[in-house]
Amino acid sequence: MSLRAARCIGLAVVVGLAGPLVGCSQKASSSGGTSAAKEDADLAIEIEMPDGDEPGEAIAANAVTTDNAESAADTEVADASTVDAEESATDTEESPSESADDAEATASSTSSTVLLGDPELTAGIPGEGPATLAEIQSWLDDPRNHQTLEVQLPLGLAAGAAQIQGLDKNPLTRAKIELGRQLYFDPRLSYDQTISCASCHHPDSGYARPTRFGVGIGAQEGGRNSPVSYNRILSGPQFWDGRAATLEDQAVGPIANAIEMGNSHEACVKCLQEIPGYALQFERIFGELTIDAVGMALASFERTIVTGPSPYDYREQLKPYEEQLAALGSDDPEDLKEEDPEIYEAYLAALAEAEQHPMSESAQRGRLLYFSERASCSACHVGPNLTDEKYHNLGVGMEAETPDLGRFVVSGEEKEKGAFKTPTIRNVELTAPYMHDGSQKTLEEVVDWYAKGGHPNPYLSDKIKKLDLTPQDKQDLVEFMKACTGPFPIVETERLPE
């Protein structure tokens, strides 16, 4: 019986120091019409949090050591076969790049296990200021950075391991993650070199932005609120309307959007090719620099951005022990000790963590209400990431003369008119404003919207019904949502290739 959960450490965003970056010799031409882009714009790298939408220590990382070299240095006498092998190696004409390629091929065939949220994954190439070509070369020469990573999710999300998306076709490596991190924060992907993915999905703003709509080049506004770019590893189709089938597809969409980054894919690739540090990384990691490789790198980084354990998760960690006590007909934890001392010790550890990350009484009442039929929040906001990843019409914006039809434009299904993807409740208190159009400024407004039954329209979801909630009920629900907030990974935001 496994009752122990992963322990994670609290993390915060760290900002490094960087000097001026070298731009591209030519700017790309904008592509796509403004009106069409405005309808399409969820703004920059939006890893879409569906509709809306401590870390910790690495579990295991296989390091490459130099024990063999040290052992050889200690050996005073080498036998004849060793001498022959060394002479043979000396005669072999193999270029450094060929040796590096062989090492990378060997590394890619091995794997190590990491806990997503481990700050080592997103700390950037060691050093300060813009990353030099020599620093990047040294990073790429380490076989460990090309090992395929088997991932574990932090407490809370861990139950969703079977829902992980994309790693079968785009396995994670440290080298891919680092390249994606650089691209995510680099405004050189945009036409005028002013907008990066982080411009609309910044860690300082909960991987979203506090503006009602996304803002792109030339201060142009899109027509939708910027979705969050965390916990995307558990999400399939991306954007508010699910129009991007994969995170890789979504990642490159804003680059060619006239309102967002205003570039073309061809011009973006050309720009990156002119930056030696990027050209080298794409060649070593993907074999070539293409827009598809750009998407794969960005998606790799984005999949590492996960929410750490929240007070809600620590409280939920106690449930198996409480259930076992109930099965024993007891409410005295000491009875667990008599039943199984090891389980009792695990219980005490879980209890200590829950006490260190307490839920308020209001939040605990809100939890009961949230999962009850009376409020029915969990009819849509359910599962490890607290979202069903489906599309629903809440009536938001449907009173407009020409409302945003959302998912209908993608699917063509009449029933999906005005439907948008369910956002995660995790870390939602950090991502205001809310709804696909950013029309609701606070969580209190969101609860009021649901309580009144949304806005009546022919396509309103059958899950949206008027709720009989007291002012205290509403406040309790808000407090519960806040108790679903966990730390983000530490991420280096400014160290980019010179």
pLDDT, tens digit, 9 for 90 and up, residues 18-39: 344 445 644 433 333 333 344 4
Domain membership of residue 79 (yes or no) is no
Domain membership of residue 83 (yes or no) is no
| Structure tokens given for 131 | 């990353």
d(CA 490, CA 57): 12
Query: What confidence category does residue 426 fall into, taking pLDDT thresholds of 50, 70 and 90?
Result: very high
Residue where a domain stops, chosen among 294, 326, 356: 356
Q: Are residues 15 and 124 in the same domain?
A: yes
Q: Are residues 491 and 436 in the same domain?
A: no
Question: Is it true that the peptide bond before 433 is cis, omega within 30 degrees of 0?
Answer: yes
pLDDT digits (tens, 9 = 90+) for 236-271: 999 999 999 999 999 999 999 999 999 999 999 999
Instruction: Note the pLDDT of residue 91.
Output: 43
Proportion of the chain above pLDDT 90, given as a percent: 76
Q: Is the pLDDT of residue 336 over 70?
A: yes
Out of 68-82, 231-245, 317-331, 395-409, pick the least confident.
68-82
Instruction: Determine phi and psi for 73, rounding to 5 degrees.
Output: -65, -30
Query: What confidence category does residue 54 fall into, taking pLDDT thresholds of 50, 70 and 90?
Result: very low
Question: Is it true that the peptide bond before 320 is cis, omega within 30 degrees of 0?
Answer: no
pLDDT digits (tens, 9 = 90+) for 359-369: 999 999 999 99
- Give me the domain span that covers residue 377: 357-482
Q: Are residues 59 and 158 in the same domain?
A: yes
Q: Is the pLDDT of residue 179 over 90?
A: yes
Domain membership of residue 459 (yes or no) is yes
Domain count, the chain: 3
Query: What confidence category does residue 105 fall into, taking pLDDT thresholds of 50, 70 and 90?
Result: low
Nearest to 294 by CA among 257, 338, 255: 255
Residues 6+ apart with CB under 8 A from 318: 347, 350, 351, 354
Looking at residues 396-420, what average pLDDT do you find?
Answer: 97
Higher pLDDT, 48 or 460: 460
Q: Are residues 419 and 466 in the same domain?
A: yes
Nearest to 126 by CA among 116, 139, 114, 142: 139
d(CA 243, CA 2): 40
Q: Is 118 exposed, middle or buried (0-12, 13-18, 19+ CB in 10 A)?
A: buried
Domain membership of residue 87 (yes or no) is no
pLDDT digits (tens, 9 = 90+) for 432-457: 999 999 999 999 999 999 999 999 99
Domain membership of residue 403 (yes or no) is yes
Instruction: Note the pLDDT of residue 108.
Output: 55
| Maximum separation of any 2 CA atoms in the chain, in Å | 88
Pair 42, 437: CB distance under 8 Å: no
Instruction: Note the pLDDT of residue 101.
Output: 59
Q: Are residues 409 and 333 in the same domain?
A: no
Q: Are residues 46 and 133 in the same domain?
A: yes
Instruction: Note the pLDDT of residue 331.
Output: 87
Instruction: Note the pLDDT of residue 339.
Output: 86
Pair 230, 47: CB distance under 8 Å: yes
Query: What confidence category does residue 203 fall into, taking pLDDT thresholds of 50, 70 and 90?
Result: very high
pLDDT digits (tens, 9 = 90+) for 135-153: 999 999 999 999 999 999 9
User: Residues 344-372, buried b or exposed e (16+ Cβ, 10 A)?
Assistant: bebbeebeebbeebebeebbbbbbebbbe
Q: Are residues 22 and 129 in the same domain?
A: yes
Instruction: Note the pLDDT of residue 100.
Output: 52
Nearest to 184 by CA among 132, 254, 134: 254
Which residues does residue 112 pair with via DSSP β-bridges, in sequence order? 149
pTM as predicted? 0.80
Instruction: Note the pLDDT of residue 297.
Output: 98
Instruction: Note the pLDDT of residue 50.
Output: 36
d(CA 438, CA 405): 15
Q: Are residues 238 and 179 in the same domain?
A: yes
Q: What is the mean pLDDT of the chain?
A: 84
Looking at residues 147-172, what average pLDDT do you find?
Answer: 97
d(CA 118, CA 337): 33
Nearest to 52 by CA among 454, 380, 469: 380
d(CA 144, CA 83): 29
| Structure tokens given for 97 | 């790049």
Domain membership of residue 85 (yes or no) is no
Q: Are residues 370 and 387 in the same domain?
A: yes
Looking at residues 306-330, what average pLDDT do you find?
Answer: 95
d(CA 253, CA 250): 5
Pair 497, 276: CB distance under 8 Å: yes
d(CA 172, CA 166): 10
Q: Are residues 176 and 284 in the same domain?
A: yes
Instruction: Note the pLDDT of residue 485.
Output: 98
SS3 265: helix
Q: Is the pLDDT of residue 44 over 60?
A: no
Using N-to-C axis directions, what is the helix angle for 174-184 and 276-286, rounded to 10°?
140
d(CA 396, CA 419): 9
Looking at residues 86-109, what average pLDDT do you find?
Answer: 49
Q: Are residues 386 and 495 in the same domain?
A: no
Residue where a domain stops, chosen among 300, 331, 356: 356
Domain membership of residue 155 (yes or no) is yes
DSSP code for 212: S
Proportion of the chain above pLDDT 70, given as a percent: 78
The type of residue at 198 is A
**CATH number of the domain to which 375 belongs:** 1.10.760.10
- Tell me, letter by letter, the H, E, C secondary structure of 366-414: HHHHHCCCCCCHHHCCCCCCCCCCCEECCCCCCCCCCCCCEHHHHHCCH
Pair 464, 155: CB distance under 8 Å: no
Total count of residues recorded for the chain = 498
pLDDT digits (tens, 9 = 90+) for 117-137: 999 999 999 999 999 999 999
d(CA 37, CA 259): 6
Nearest to 429 by CA among 384, 486, 375: 486
